[in-house]
Amino acid sequence: MSGALLVFAKEPRPGAVKTRLCPPFSPQQAAEFYACLLDDALAASAAAAVRLGLAPILYVAPAEACAAVAGRAPAGFRTLPQRGPDLAARMENAFAEAAAAGFAPLLLRGSDSPLLGEATLAAALEALTLADLALCPDLDGGYNLVALRRPAPGLFAHAMSTPEVLADTLANARRLGLSARVLEPGLDVDTAADLAQLAAARRAGRAVDCPRTLAFLDRHGLWP
């Protein structure tokens, strides 16, 4: 059985996504922006999964939005609900569920990281030949990709969405006896400062996997 690429996604609903961009975005613009990020992430993930021999699985929150969000995914994706009372539990459950289905290794990515493409996924797989865990950090202290040889119950037993998430996960890895590798940093887009980072990446030719996202920002003049 091959490994699996798990994509975590939310329903693109005004007031529920990218709220830290409001203002300058309106809630409707934030939802449309996230929908572009999601569509880019799904397209890039589908293509990379084929070339890297991974099974693509889309995990959706809330559960009742599964059918609607599944309609955005390219062919080949299996769609499942995220299960659990918080992000840490939902991530742990997704890893356990995919492993129980026979998949290994397991890569879990977010859907708001426009620079996360095949090269980063391949680097994570390579890292797992030497380590139990690989993480791609964000500039805000979190991470946008978790790669595991096998599930590690308790790895995410800490507060999420804080500037200490990466450090806390690595500390838990050490406590659990897991070896870890940290990849080159990526970028989640949550704030206007992140948009400036995305603009810089575009000028450097590194924003090739997010054409819908760039076009949306161009069309609405929402660059900082």
Supply the pTM of this predicted model.
0.96
Residue of 32, 40, 52, 41 whose CA lies nearest to 8: 41
pLDDT along the chain (224 residues), means of 10: 93 97 96 98 97 98 97 96 97 98 98 97 98 95 96 96 94 98 96 96 97 98 95
Question: What's the pLDDT score for residue 1?
Answer: 58
Structure tokens at 115: 């620079």
Q: Which domains does the chain have, with CATH numbers?
A: 3-220 (3.90.550.10)
Structure tokens at 193: 């400062």
Evaluate the CA torsion angle 128, 97, 168, 120 in order and state its sign: positive
Question: What's the pLDDT score for residue 139?
Answer: 87
Total Cβ atoms within 10 A of residue 185: 13
Sheet holding 54-61, edge to edge: 78-81, 54-61, 3-10, 106-109, 143-148, 133-137, 180-182
Radius of gyration of the chain (CA): 16
Tokens 């997010």 map to which residue? 210
